[in-house]
Amino acid sequence: MNYTQLLNELEQASLFDLYRLRVGIGKMLDQPARIKAIKNRLRLDMEVTYFDETENRLIPAIVEEFQRTRLLVRNISDGKKWKVPFYMVNIDGVDTDIHSDQCQVDRNTLKVGEIVGYRDRQQREQYGQIIRLNPKTATLHIMKDGAEWRVPYNLLFKVVDGEGGQVQDDGLIEGQVIEIDGERMIVDQKIEPESIVYKTHPPTKPGKSTQDVQTPPGQKIGRNRPCPCGSGKKFKRCCLSKQ
């Protein structure tokens, strides 16, 4: 089911239309036959995901116990246990994200953990990670200074990898969104670039080792010049730092 298309169509519905639909859907959620069908597909210690409406995202968890109308699960991320209705379990693994073709976003299109941006009062672009979705605002953890701000949804915009910021001396971009081992983060001046971009040094050219590189006699390599080892990094951040 295309949730984005469905919600777009419901934008034209009246408040009473939405209420009437909610009543009908609520009764369908409590149908014993539907609950039994979900129970039959679940097993103890099975890994599942359930949809958390407060965070607007799927939460990975392990099945701990079956109850009459609810399921006891243990979150994989923090080990916390929750009793969730069976209808919250994404048993078919459907895409739950709501997409928008518009520049502006709303609570339906955002989820906790996502990185977004906004313009402050000085019209500077700020970037942060969503830590809470409130009724009218999103609480952001600003990666640049560690502050937390509540920003109205109509001021937020989604960011793409590499967007935002000013180029620094090390070649990274302050405010740039990067992804490492599946985790998205924003480049911060307080974080050493090597710890962000590389867990190990990049591959060197064949036959050259960073430990074997030597400066030619009588020639001095500038700190900001490319490292002769072929890593692609500046000399001061590669072999010079090991001397």
For the stretch 41-69, pLDDT in tens is 999 999 999 999 999 999 999 999 999 88
What band does 163 get if pLDDT is binned at 50, 70 and 90?
very low
Over residues 150-158, the mean pLDDT reads 90
Q: Could you read off the pLDDT of 20-48 as tens digits, one per residue? A: 999 999 999 989 999 999 999 999 999 99
pLDDT at position 5: 86
What band does 166 get if pLDDT is binned at 50, 70 and 90?
very low
Measured in whole angstroms, how far is the alpha carbon of residue 187 from the centre of its chain? 15
pLDDT at position 103: 55
Question: Residue 8: which H helix or E strand, with range?
Answer: helix 3-10
DSSP three-state, residue 118:
strand
Mean of the per-residue pLDDT values of the chain: 76
Question: Residue 180: which H helix or E strand, with range?
Answer: strand 177-180
Q: Is the pLDDT of residue 158 over 50?
A: yes
pLDDT at position 230: 64
Spatial separation of the C-alpha atoms in residues 95 and 109, rounded to whole Å? 13
Give the Å distances, CA to CA, from 141 to 22, 63, 131, 196, 211. 34, 31, 7, 18, 40
pLDDT at position 210: 38
pLDDT at position 185: 53
The single residue listed with the structure tokens 């710890």 is: 195
Q: Is the pLDDT of residue 178 over 60?
A: no
Over residues 197-215, the mean pLDDT reads 38
Measured in whole angstroms, how far is the alpha carbon of residue 174 from the centre of its chain? 18
Count Cβ atoms within 10 A of the Cβ of residue 61 and give its class: 0-12 exposed, 13-18 middle, 19 or more buried. buried
What band does 99 get if pLDDT is binned at 50, 70 and 90?
confident
Up-side HSE of residue 206: CA atoms within 13 Å toward CB? 0
What band does 101 get if pLDDT is binned at 50, 70 and 90?
low
Pick from 28, 46, 25: which is nearest to 89 by CA? Answer: 46
What band does 200 get if pLDDT is binned at 50, 70 and 90?
very low
Pick from 40, 27, 39, 96: which is nearest to 72 by CA? Answer: 39
Q: List, in order of start, the domains of the chain with CATH numbers.
A: 3-88 (2.30.30.140), 103-199 (2.30.30.140), 202-243 (no CATH)
